[in-house]
Amino acid sequence: MSGVRAVAAWPGPALVAGVVAAVAAGAPAGPVLVLGAAVAPLLALLQPARAAATRHPVTVAIAGLVAALVLSAHLAALADTAALVGARRWHAIVLAAALTLLVTLMPNAGRRPGLAPLIGGGALLLVLVTAGASTGLAPWGAWAAAAARPALVFSGRSPWVTDGERFLRRTTLAFDEGHRVVAVTPGTFRVVEADEGRRVVRDWRLTGGDALTLRPGDTLTAEAGSRLRFEPGKRVPGAPASGSAWADAAPRASPTRSLALLATLVLGACALVPVSARCTTAAAAIVLALSVGATSWGVYATLASPEAGLAGSPIEALLSLPRVVPPSAHGLTAGGLVAVVVVGLLALFIAAAEGLRQVVRAAAGTRWPEVWAVAMGAAALIAVISIVDPWTLLMAGLGLAGAALAAPRLAAGRGAGRRLGWPVEVLGALVGAGAFVALTVAKLPAALELLAAFPVLVAAPLGFAVVRALHATR
């Protein structure tokens, strides 16, 4: 198996958009996310060689569920892209799922495994270079310029100021200074006022053109689909206070949350990236391009439009860069560059889907060929009905993969035998998956919030321990 095919399942649209958005927003976990996204698939390539995968209906079901969750994250990212360019979400989901199913089920589908990642990476690289050249700044120069800003404010050219933009998901904004927002379309908005220590909740029903005045300390909750217009020159709600605060947010990251995020990424990569890659140079080049490219993209995005992220989707940061490119940039218009980004994301989705199909195929063999089509259908359904953002779905998919596929497999090594008539690895997978689902749906106390956010921290060690314990009782 080539290195390109080995890591093809990794940099899908949801992961790329999540990394770019974290850098653009100055998220404290940004550096850990960039490093983890780059190093985790390479670490997965170093997994010990093992015997053939245990073929069992339970393993097939878990692999199918993992594929459905990860695919739904990528489909949700494509749906957000469609919504931000004015198309319908479900149109994008159905079209992308149908096209990808067709491409991956075609005869000789895997003959050119490097084509889709090459198109996707090349398209995004073209936009990045064009946008970077239009600013006249190298990425490190853009970083220094972004870090030197006294405040992150709405520019007069921002679409949030000129025409108003739409919220893709229910979003709560915290205001640090007085602000007058205008509803572009009718909607209900909840304002929580901080009035001398008391919290007063007011629901406002606004029609198009109605204004709402917010004071420092107030929060505004906008429902999905509502549109608002902001004032130019005002601080972006929820953004870091200044460029310096944006640049220095990373050292304030919680070490435990950072470790939990790394555990999710590494174990998820161990489940999705196959071990038998021959040529690792291409794989190493891909993840290096992912780390440097996504970081540069995020830096240019925050310099050009610090409000990218208000809509409630990480895709907004990805699309904000081509949108601010001046029309004369190398003959490419902003609309043309947005189209290139859409093509690039679709190609990355096809590449990721082909990689996930290999994961399902490794679990199911040739006995259940319909599992892949069912996983794609389930992913499309999840993406249509889901109200959470693509990153949440991706973390759920990677966490489940780590707890129920990677941990039992690593514990079993070259085979752990059978107990109670079942393969020990399958018993470990059942325990890992059960613990992951239980922690995800349970209402844990605030002290255990970390486990609710990263259930893999408990589920993966449980799956691992069960396999080792049953193996030792032989």
Q: Provide the binding-site residues for other proteins, judged by CB under 8 A.
A: 30-32, 34-36, 38-40, 42-43, 45-46, 48, 140-141, 143-144, 147, 247-248, 250-253, 255, 258-259, 262, 266, 277, 280-281, 283-285, 287-288, 291-292, 295
Between 92 and 287, CB nearer to other proteins: 287
Between 189 and 297, CB nearer to other proteins: 297
Between 85 and 253, CB nearer to other proteins: 253
Between 266 and 360, CB nearer to other proteins: 266
Q: How far is the CB of 282 from other proteins (least distance, A)?
A: 10
Between 41 and 309, CB nearer to other proteins: 41
Find, among 32, 99, 138, the residue nearest to 350 by Cα. 99
Between 236 and 294, CB nearer to other proteins: 294
CA–CA dist 157, 336 (Å, integer): 19
Between 293 and 312, CB nearer to other proteins: 293
CA–CA dist 250, 288 (Å, integer): 20
Instruction: Tell me the Cα Rg of the chain.
Output: 23
**Coil, helix or strand at residue 106:** coil
CA–CA dist 349, 19 (Å, integer): 16
Q: How far is the CB of 253 from other proteins (least distance, A)?
A: 6
CA–CA dist 168, 313 (Å, integer): 7
Q: How far is the CB of 178 from other proteins (least distance, A)?
A: 32
> Could you say which DSSP state residue 204 is in?
E
Between 3 and 237, CB nearer to other proteins: 3
Q: Which amino acid is residue 258, in one-letter code? A: S
Find, among 283, 319, 208, 215, the residue nearest to 42 by Cα. 283
**Coil, helix or strand at residue 323:** helix
The string of DSSP letters for 107-119 reads: TTTTS-TTHHHHH
Q: How far is the CB of 455 from other proteins (least distance, A)?
A: 20
Cβ contact 93:384 at 8 Å: yes
Find, among 318, 282, 350, the residue nearest to 12 by Cα. 350
Cβ contact 153:352 at 8 Å: no
Q: How far is the CB of 461 from other proteins (least distance, A)?
A: 16
Q: How far is the CB of 149 from other proteins (least distance, A)?
A: 13
Cβ contact 73:394 at 8 Å: yes
Q: How far is the CB of 152 from other proteins (least distance, A)?
A: 17
Where on the phi/psi map is residue 164: left (φ > 0), alpha (ψ -120 to 50), or beta? left
**Coil, helix or strand at residue 187:** strand
Q: Say how many residues make up the chain.
A: 474
Between 289 and 329, CB nearer to other proteins: 289
**Coil, helix or strand at residue 213:** strand
Q: How far is the CB of 254 from other proteins (least distance, A)?
A: 8
Q: How many CB atoms lie within 10 A of CB 273?
A: 25
Q: How far is the CB of 287 from other proteins (least distance, A)?
A: 6
